[in-house]
């Protein structure tokens, strides 16, 4: 799943792009299977200590909005997420908010940063006890078709960047891996990122820990789609990224 994300009144609002075809060794680790449900927990415990940054947990909140309620949703979402950030008892940061403009339209992605799992527990408990936060969250629901959440950890070699103000488009690329292949993915992809950083650096890279397992995400920012195209063409000529 590759969404393209674009900025909005809240911060940056992101679009999704189409599914991509990977090449080389990466093809051997892309997978979708029910076995993930049974094998996920052991892999998470083992691999997170090896490749995870371990400092923060990021919550990926995805909202599918009724097409005729998008503008109403944006206003309600702005009030809700600004309220989360303004409450000193919640200790939560907003990595960004995006609207999908290529891919599954009328979809919004919000990435929140918590102070690891203890911080997530404290934040969610405080939010449940806050009348204001409960009210702003309730105000969102009439505009939603569905919503889901996933908790992810950053890859240690690429901590996420601070929120960015300069706009442009954002591309969120997501992959489902074979159970047990996360270390292999991290090793191959890290070499590719090191080769590609002369052209563009990701905003962040994460792997899932709670929710849908065996998924990895990376987020890129470009001024426009033409720059994205030329950047990717140059990167494919570099050893490491094209391997």
Q: Which residues lie below 8 Å from residue 193, measured CB to CB, with a gap of 6+?
A: 157, 158, 201, 202, 205
Structural domains in the chain, CATH included, are: 2-235 (3.30.70.100)
Residue 163 has pLDDT above 70, yes or no: no
Q: Residue 240: what pLDDT? A: 60
More confident residue, 178 or 243: 178
Q: Residue 43: what pLDDT? A: 56
> 96-100, 107-111, 163-167: lowest mean pLDDT where?
163-167
Residue 84 has pLDDT above 50, yes or no: yes
Joined together, the tokens standing for residue 161 give: 């960047």
CA 125 distance to own-chain centroid: 23
Minimal CA–CA distance to 60: which of 111, 20, 105? 111
More confident residue, 96 or 8: 96
> 50-54, 89-93, 193-197, 205-209: lowest mean pLDDT where?
50-54
> 67-81, 137-151, 153-167, 209-223: lowest mean pLDDT where?
153-167
Q: Residue 55: what pLDDT? A: 79
Q: Residue 26: what pLDDT? A: 41
The pairs formed by 113-118 with CB atoms below 8 angstroms and a separation of 24 or more are: 113/56, 113/57, 113/58, 113/59, 113/160, 114/56, 114/57, 114/58, 114/59, 115/56, 115/57, 115/91, 116/54, 116/55, 116/56, 116/57, 117/57
Mean pLDDT of 221-236: 88
Q: Residue 15: what pLDDT? A: 36
> If 0-12 CB within 10 Å is exposed, 13-18 middle and 19+ buried, where does residue 137 land?
middle
What are the CA-CA distances from residue 157 to residues 23, 99, 145, 205 (Å)?
22, 27, 36, 9
More confident residue, 120 or 51: 120
| pLDDT level of residue 234 (50, 70, 90 thresholds) | confident
Residue 198 has pLDDT above 90, yes or no: no
Q: Which residues lie below 8 Å from residue 213, measured CB to CB, with a gap of 6+?
A: 36, 37, 40, 43, 44
Q: Residue 139: what pLDDT? A: 98
Mean pLDDT of 193-215: 86
**Taking the model in full, what pTM does it have?**
0.78
More confident residue, 15 or 74: 74
Q: Distance between CA 40 and CA 35 in Å, rounded?
A: 8
Joined together, the tokens standing for residue 40 give: 């996920």
Residue 21 has pLDDT above 60, yes or no: no
């Amino acid at each position: 799943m590759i969404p393209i994300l674009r900025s909005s009144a809240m911060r940056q609002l992101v679009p999704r792009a189409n599914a991509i075809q990977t090449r080389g060794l990466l093809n051997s680790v892309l997978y979708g299977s029910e076995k993930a449900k049974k094998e996920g927990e052991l892999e998470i415990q083992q691999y997170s200590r090896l490749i995870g940054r371990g400092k923060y947990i990021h919550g990926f909140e995805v909202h599918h909005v009724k097409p005729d309620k998008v503008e109403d949703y944006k206003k309600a979402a702005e009030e809700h997420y600004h309220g989360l950030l303004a409450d000193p008892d919640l200790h939560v940061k907003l990595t960004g908010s995006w609207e999908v403009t290529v891919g599954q339209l009328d979809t919004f992605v919000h990435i929140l940063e918590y102070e690891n799992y203890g911080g997530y527990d404290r934040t969610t408990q405080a939010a449940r006890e806050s009348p204001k936060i409960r009210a702003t969250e309730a105000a969102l629901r009439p505009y939603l078709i569905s919503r889901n959440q996933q908790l992810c950890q950053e890859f240690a070699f690429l901590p996420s960047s601070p929120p960015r103000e300069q706009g442009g488009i954002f591309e969120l690329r997501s992959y489902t891996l074979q159970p047990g292949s996360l270390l292999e993915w991290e090793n191959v992809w890290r070499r590719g990122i090191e080769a590609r950083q002369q052209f563009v650096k990701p905003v962040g890279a994460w792997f899932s820990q709670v929710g849908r397992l065996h998924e990895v995400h990376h987020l890129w920012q470009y001024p426009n789609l033409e720059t994205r195209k030329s950047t990717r063409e140059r990167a494919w000529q570099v050893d490491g990224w094209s391997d």
